[in-house]
Structure 1
Amino acid sequence: MADPTPQPSLFDEGPFAPCPAPFNMAAHTLAAAAITPEKVALEVIAGPGAVAARWTHGELAEAVRRTAAGLAAAGIRPGDRMLLRLGNSAEFPILFFAAIALGAVPAPASPQLTRAEVAAILADLDPALVALGAGLDLPPGVACPVIGPAEIAALGRHPPRRFAATMPDDPAFIVYTSGTSGRPKGVLHAQRAAWARRMMWQGWYGLKPDDRVLHAGAFNWTYTLGAGLTDPWAAGATALIHAGPPDRHVWPRLAAAHGATIFAAVPGVYRQMLDAPGLAEGFAGLRHGLSAGEALAETVAETWSRATGRPIYQALGMSEISTYISFSPEDPPVPGRSGRPQRGRRVAILGETGDAPLPRGTDGLLAVGRRDPGLMLGYWRRPEETAAAFRGEWFLTGDRARMAADGTITHLGRADEVMNAGGYRVAPQEVEAALLRHPGVAEAAVVDLPVRDGVSIIAAFFVPAGDAPEAAALARHCEGLLARYKCPREFHAVANLPRGSNGKLIRRKLRDVRGGM
């Protein structure tokens, strides 16, 4: 007779190989320099067939070690924070890994951020140095030294130094993401984060040393930094990054011209290129595609795969742990599911209280074992939020999900109200705070709204303070305060915002308000 006890929603295939000690993320990532120093590690692509910069594994490691020495000569010490506001040029990964090689802590900042957003990060980070790319600016009153392209190049003229003998739990880098309070929130990662990424090599990528990985993202984005640079280099493969003008149809031509074998992008990029000419021919040399950042619509995946003859393997992740649930060449996609926990992960579905996994097939809170080597050290300067993110032996991801009997995961959305627009997580409170700075707005609330399969936009609902301002005026106002991906695409004036008996905003009802217009 079958056991009537439901199987708990726990995925645990044993611990991942322990991270060696000492361990330096930069040394680990650039280790191929000692094995295949002449092999190409990075091509920064200006256009199909046009390479703006090319670096071998040996040259890259040498540049990182020289730049680390330059940073030390400039007074940067282990533990110092550095803000990197740079574009898609080779100087970004060289500076990023040079800081880690020294034991300092780099924090990338998107070139899309406004001065106000950068000012908030500067105040929180308190950096010892800011690296600023060509054509970018900073808010006034930056207290620390600021270096530009000429000074960055000069850093690399010093004799190379050894990689710092850091330990696995020593700080390595900080990634800023939107917090639910509307303030930027720094996610502090340990050196061991690079070691843990090895779980993705077969659990998602099927990564091989002879791969050429073309990534559609910006250098500073966590997805690109990990899947587009760190992992290909650590595996001895080649990273291909486009730094040319934006063009939604350029990717098949880039893949063909530069011999890409793996293509990585957010779902929106796959959707936008479906009508690209030469789609099948461009990706003929591809083994498969990778998708992360938001849910990939099955219709988009099916259409792209039919056109190219290549599968897409999607992954679920977050800044605090990177991708940890995915499908892969060894574990093909299951329709309607988001993926399977990667081997070495400990994942469970929890209830609203307690730390015992719920039965499989039950909806609940998605959680990751707190001893996962890829898990963050904590939120920078936010001990209360860090403590609140853990429950017993589990880290609460903030996602709702369901685990099937076969261990596959169905993602059911965020447990909180953080929006997802174009693959970016955006806190509604941050957008609302910007709207409320307009004199014509008395109350404001925003929500992400689906406009078609797999595509959502941010819509704003506001109670006017007098005559309602025009949508165009509000759009210009937001563009001056927020990065483009955070700006609402719709503006709706309403008499009242939906609230409960306690006066709390009922955000989900905004979708009904919009639907009734």
Structure 2
Amino acid sequence: MAYTFADLFEHAVDAMPDRIALIASGEEVTFRDLDERANRLGHHLETAGFGAGSHIGIHMHNSIETMVAVLAAFKVRAVPITVNYRYTTDELVYLYDNADLDALVFHAGFAGPVAEALPGAPRIRHLVEVPDVLATEPSPVRHGAVRYEDVLAAASPARGFGRRSGDDVYILYTGGTTGRPKGVVWRQEDMWRVLAGGLDFFTGEPILDEFQQSRTGAAGEPMRMLILPPLIHTSALMPTFTALLAGNAVIYDPKFDAARTWQLVGRHRPTAMVITGDAMGRPLVEALRASAVDTSSLSVVASGAALFSGSVKDAFFEVLPDLLISDSVGSSETGFGGIGFATKGLDQRGGPKVGKHRHTVVVDDENRVQAPGSGAEGWLAKIGPVPLGYYNDPAKSAEIFRQVHTAGGPARAVVTGDRARIEDDGSVTLLGRGNMVINTGGEKVFAEEVEAVVKAHPDVYDAIVVGVPDERWGSRVAVVMRARDGLPDFEGIEKHARSQLAGYKIPRSFWIVPEVERTSSGKPEYRWARGHATAHAPDHRID
């Protein structure tokens, strides 16, 4: 059986060649077109000396060509490594080097950062430059790169590749909230199972037939999915594969713009939209209120990878009352960990509550799985298909990937930095990141819980909660926030927070900023927020 992304994609192509696969920047391509383009680039990579185990960097924003590059690497058993295009030169040099990149495919608009980083990554010996829809003007190919258009014109559109293995790996680099980016090494079959349809998302039961997704897709009517997060993250790349493997179409926008998103909805009529929490959700709601676009096709908004607060979900329900909203738990290290569904007025504290899932558990400090009904808090953990470890980091791998004690005996698991509680029915409530806990006067405060409450106040557009030094309590809860209009009503925010939070969780210091910084996947930039709070006097303080 061929449980690799290239093989499974080729099954979909063979079953539904003339269906639309991708829509981006005014272009639509069928499954046959996408396959042939990936075959051409794959043959070029082989001719250039790359194959099984080669590391191919993909430094690109969302586009049809980005998926061509990913598929081409998978087809020749190389390892596609998507590069965060927001990284600084220093971060790019680190990633290029740490990931042992052999070749790089990049959009022309990133030629400058690529040129700055290349001297620090001498292992890279081949470059492919791709025309960029976001580039302000055409530019000549640089750095000894070959032109993407020339590559495709010169290579065969036929397949003709060797056999592949489910043990072929995929490496996903994740920055997290602290430290250098880390490469998470997944077997392709395991990644497919937990994030691209190889397991039933609700029961955790595995698919045992490599043709099941394509066969089911061919028997039904195709749907369209608008995927807004960047393809550098699994929150976009894996939903793309989930859609494609079942014969559905994916819509991309190279750069997130809330107003343009609704224009795409009206033009291309997607059934589902994938976002990353409040970072996309809040501007989308506000843009929709100012738009007259027809949204009748849209029935599902699916969020993952970042906090999606109850107040923003309620705002969606106000403008789209019949919408189905899902909120998934997962990470680069765990894959899919469970899904929850929102209803208007749902009381949500911190992260989402997800239904019972056979592979999602809560463990204590001794790595013992906590039983449903115990109400125990601990660390969110994932058993079943999990990554092999971190690339080139055995020490960190041993810390995160370990054995846990289940009722059926020991099991290999990834134990995250997320605090969680096991509920009576086996569902799991995510409490917050363990490394984002604020210890104030001996009490623990989860940043996400306070953020969700603060952002529900009408004067607050966006916010990050951090701990700052306090002579009396050790740390105090602080907020770095973007106000909606003018100076916010701090007393009103305090009163609102006190109505929902214990006294020790109430924010005591506030900083107003023009924009709250977030990662490319929508997660809060906690280091930036702490740095801002350290460098500036607060705009408001409660003693």
Superposition TM-score tier, normalisation by shorter sequence: 0.7 to 0.9
Query: How far has the Cα of 1:88 moved from its partner?
Result: 2.4
Whether contact under 8 Å (1:211, 1:260) holds in the other structure is: yes
Cα distance change of structure 1 residues 516 and 162 upon mapping to structure 2, 3 Å threshold: farther
Q: Is 1:177 aligned to residue 189 of structure 2?
A: no
Q: Which amino acid aligns with 2:281?
A: Y
Alignment of 1:322-471 (within 5 A): 322-327=335-340, 335-336=347-348, 338-340=352-354, 345-360=358-373, 361-369=375-383, 371-372=384-385, 375-389=386-400, 390-392=402-404, 393=411, 394-417=413-436, 450=451, 452-453=455-456, 455-457=462-464
Query: How far has the Cα of 1:39 moved from its partner?
Result: 0.7
Partners of 1:102 and 1:115 lie apart in 2 by 29
Q: Which amino acid aligns with 2:425?
A: D
- Picking from 245, 249, 255, the partner of 1:234 is 245
Q: Is 1:261 aligned to residue 271 of structure 2?
A: yes
Whether contact under 8 Å (2:106, 2:128) holds in the other structure is: yes
Query: How far has the Cα of 1:202 moved from its partner?
Result: 5.5
Q: Is 1:295 aligned to residue 307 of structure 2?
A: yes
Query: How far has the Cα of 1:262 moved from its partner?
Result: 0.4
Partners of 1:201 and 1:242 lie apart in 2 by 29
Whether contact under 8 Å (2:380, 2:418) holds in the other structure is: yes
Query: How far has the Cα of 1:162 moved from its partner?
Result: 3.5
Partner-residue secondary structure (3-state), 1:304? helix
Partners of 1:321 and 1:164 lie apart in 2 by 30
Whether contact under 8 Å (1:174, 1:187) holds in the other structure is: yes
Partner-residue secondary structure (3-state), 1:198? coil
Query: How far has the Cα of 1:458 moved from its partner?
Result: 7.3
2:493 paired residue number: none
Partners of 1:96 and 1:225 lie apart in 2 by 9
1:162 paired residue number: 160
Whether contact under 8 Å (2:2, 2:8) holds in the other structure is: no
Partners of 1:133 and 1:34 lie apart in 2 by 30
Cα distance change of structure 1 residues 117 and 340 upon mapping to structure 2, 3 Å threshold: same
Q: Which amino acid aligns with 1:401?
A: A
- Cα deviation per residue 1:199-248 (whole Å; 9 max; x = unaligned)? 677649x9975210011122322211111x2111011000001126x432
Whether contact under 8 Å (1:325, 1:338) holds in the other structure is: no
Gaps of 5+ in 2: 131-145, 204-215, 405-410, 439-446, 470-512
With normalisation by structure 1, the TM-score equals 0.73
Query: How far has the Cα of 1:108 moved from its partner?
Result: 0.5
Partners of 2:292 and 2:320 lie apart in 1 by 4
Partners of 1:255 and 1:339 lie apart in 2 by 29
1:106 paired residue number: 80
Partners of 2:52 and 2:151 lie apart in 1 by 17
Whether contact under 8 Å (1:261, 1:285) holds in the other structure is: yes
2:197 paired residue number: 198
Partners of 1:270 and 1:256 lie apart in 2 by 18
Whether contact under 8 Å (2:419, 2:430) holds in the other structure is: yes
Q: Which amino acid aligns with 1:198?
A: G
- Cα deviation per residue 1:329-384 (whole Å; 9 max; x = unaligned)? 9x9997537243576x4222111114342453211111111x32xx2221101122
- Picking from 306, 309, 316, the partner of 2:318 is 306
Query: How far has the Cα of 1:412 moved from its partner?
Result: 0.5
1:85 paired residue number: 59
1:505 paired residue number: none
1:23 paired residue number: 3
2:533 paired residue number: 492
2:257 paired residue number: 247
**CA RMSD between the two structures:** 3.8
Whether contact under 8 Å (1:24, 1:163) holds in the other structure is: no
- Cα deviation per residue 1:301-342 (whole Å; 9 max; x = unaligned)? 12212311212111111011322210369x999753724357
Identity score, percent: 21
Gaps of 5+ in 1: 1-20, 46-50, 420-446, 463-474, 496-509
Partner-residue secondary structure (3-state), 2:101? coil
Cα distance change of structure 1 residues 162 and 398 upon mapping to structure 2, 3 Å threshold: farther
Is the deviation greater in 155-164 or in 133-142?
155-164
Cα distance change of structure 1 residues 514 and 165 upon mapping to structure 2, 3 Å threshold: farther
Cα distance change of structure 1 residues 195 and 408 upon mapping to structure 2, 3 Å threshold: closer
Partners of 1:57 and 1:483 lie apart in 2 by 27
- Picking from 186, 190, 197, the partner of 1:189 is 186
Partners of 1:301 and 1:366 lie apart in 2 by 24
Cα distance change of structure 1 residues 34 and 342 upon mapping to structure 2, 3 Å threshold: farther
1:34 paired residue number: 14
Whether contact under 8 Å (1:209, 1:235) holds in the other structure is: no
Cα distance change of structure 1 residues 408 and 335 upon mapping to structure 2, 3 Å threshold: farther
Whether contact under 8 Å (2:57, 2:103) holds in the other structure is: yes
With normalisation by structure 2, the TM-score equals 0.70
Partner-residue secondary structure (3-state), 1:127? coil
Q: Which amino acid aligns with 1:34?
A: D
- What is the aligned length? 427
Partners of 1:290 and 1:120 lie apart in 2 by 33
Partners of 1:233 and 1:103 lie apart in 2 by 19
Is the deviation greater in 291-300 or in 233-242?
291-300
Query: How far has the Cα of 1:461 moved from its partner?
Result: 6.8
